[in-house]
Amino acid sequence: MRFSVLASGSTGNAIYIENDEHKFLVDAGFSGKKLESLFAGVGRSLADLDGIFVTHEHSDHIKGLGVVARKYGMPIYANEKTWKAMDGLIGKVPIEQCFQFDMETVKSFGGLDIESFGVSHDAADPMFYTFHEAGRKLAIITDTGYVSDRMKGIIGGADAFVFESNHDVGMLQMGPYPWSVKRRILSDVGHVSNEDAAVAMSEVVHEKETSIYLSHLSKDNNMKDLARMSVTQTLETCGIITGEYLHLYDTDADKPTKLVTV
């Protein structure tokens, strides 16, 4: 199993996952043209996708969904409430390309098992995914106001994580956003901060080689160096030294990470 965070941030999100038999995308939060460019950056093509898994209906996750689905005729997977929430947002998608993926269920594609789980975010029915193949596990969790014990149980022990590290609380509080937006981000249905993300990481990482990709950073309320420093320091207070068996990686808002094997 291989993956790349094609791009991640407050302006758009897309994650590519493949094995020897299948190629999938989680979210399509960019224009079709930008997605094609991101795929080219890892030597892949949108035309080869076997499907797109949707996490929720916010525009930074579905901006190019309808365009790409229609152009390439690929399946889209989302839960019932998300499908309803996307009505009118992604244009007309042929019914034969629309598939329901219920929350807290598993879909299997050959030897690749994909498990869905709910998160706490201000969307209709937001859910994320873990990918399992041959005893290896990739967990994707962003866009959640907190990480519950249930979520931790599902993502725990992954070999690689794409983990939200959205904002620095101080930057957010002192920044230009209206208080109503700040309150929403800080709420249980908003986004996790660097420190809260790191505490959750400390509770789901096992003592084995593990990679964590810090994702969905706010362009106004975070910086890559700050996120990495905050997460590293918080992990250390929890007894985990980065660089031993746990390795942190940055993601970018407009270019892909290297395609790596889980």
pLDDT one-digit tens code per residue, 159-195 = 999 999 999 999 999 999 999 999 999 999 999 999 9
Q: Which residues of 199-226 are buried (b: 16+ CB within 10 A; e: fewer)?
A: bbbbebbeeeebbbbbbbbbeebbeeeb
pLDDT, residue 143, reads: 98
pLDDT, residue 183, reads: 97
- The residues, ordered by sequence, that sit 6+ positions from 149 with a Cβ below 8 Å of its Cβ are none
> Looking at this protein, which amino acid is placed at residue 222?
N
First-to-final CA distance of the chain: 6
pLDDT, residue 68, reads: 97
Q: Are 214 and 192 in contact (CB under 8 A)?
A: no
Please state, as a whole number, how many other Cβ atoms lie within 10 Å of the Cβ of residue 93. 18
Using 50, 70 and 90 to split pLDDT, how confident is the model at 90?
Answer: very high
